[in-house]
Amino acid sequence: MKVVYVSTIERGGPLSHLQVLAPAVAAEGIDVHVVCATEALAAEFRTTGIEASAVAVHSKTDLRGAGRLWPQLHEASIVHTHDRRAGLFARPQARLRRARALHTLHGLPEEIAVRLDRPDSPPLPGVSRARSTWFRWGYPRVETLLAALGQVIVPSDSIARFLARHGLSKNRIHVIPHGVAPTLRRRVHDDRGPLRLATAANLEYWKGIDVLLAACARVHVPVRLDVFGDGSLRDELVRDASNRGIDAAFHGFVPNVRDLLAEADVFVLPSRGDNAPVSILEAMAAGLPVISTRVGGIPELVTHEETGLLVAPDDPGGLAEAIDLLGRDVSLRSRLGARGLARAAEEFSVQRAVRATVDLYRELCGSST
Residue 68 maps to a domain: yes
In a shared domain, residues 170 and 235: no
Query: Do 212 and 84 share a domain, yes or no?
Result: no
Task: Return all residues near 363 (Cβ < 8 A) that are at least 6 apart.
Answer: none
pLDDT at position 369: 43
Q: What is the CATH number of the domain that holds 275?
A: 3.40.50.2000
Structural domain contains residue 287:
yes
When comparing pLDDT for 190 and 179, which is higher? 179
Give the whole-number percent of the chain exceeding pLDDT 70: 95
Average pLDDT of every residue of the chain: 91
Overall number of domains in the chain: 2
Instruction: Tell me whether residue 186 is in a domain.
Output: no
pLDDT one-digit tens code per residue, 18-72: 998 999 999 999 999 999 999 999 999 999 999 999 999 999 999 999 999 999 9
Show Cβ contacts of residue 346 under 8 Å, excluding neighbours closer than 6 positions.
none
Residues 261 and 302 in one domain: yes
Which CA distances in Å does 213 have to 123, 194, 343?
Answer: 22, 16, 29
Q: Residues 130, 235: one domain?
A: no
Out of 127-131, 137-141, 188-192, give the one with best mean pLDDT: 137-141
- 337 and 355 inside one domain: no
Question: Quick one: 337 and 360 in the same domain?
Answer: no
Domain assignment present for residue 19? The answer is yes
> Both 53 and 169 in a single domain?
yes
Same domain, 107 and 145: yes
Task: Please check whether residues 278 and 200 belong to one and the same domain.
Answer: yes
- If asked whether residues 33 and 172 sit together in one domain, one would say yes
Q: What is the pLDDT of residue 359?
A: 96
Helix boundaries (H) for the chain: 13-26, 39-46, 63-67, 84-96, 110-113, 129-133, 139-147, 157-165, 209-216, 234-243, 257-261, 278-285, 298-301, 316-328, 330-347, 350-366
Average pLDDT estimate for 210-238: 97
> Are the C-beta atoms of residues 298 and 310 closer than 8 Å to each other?
yes
In a domain, 188, yes or no: no
Please tell me whether residues 336 and 358 are part of one structural domain: no
Its domain, for residue 167, covers 2-180+349-366
What b/e string do you get for 99-137 counting C-beta neighbours within 10 Å, with b at 16 or more? Answer: bbbbbbbbbbbbbbbbbbbeeebeebeeeeeebeebbee
**Residue 185: inside a domain:** no
Question: Is 339 found in the same domain as 217?
Answer: yes
Tell me if 22 is assigned to some domain.
Answer: yes
Look at strands 173-175 and 2-6 and give their pairing: unpaired
189: in domain: no
| Percentage helix, strand, coil for the chain under 3-state DSSP, each rounded to 5 | 45, 15, 40
| Amino acid code (one letter) for 261 | L
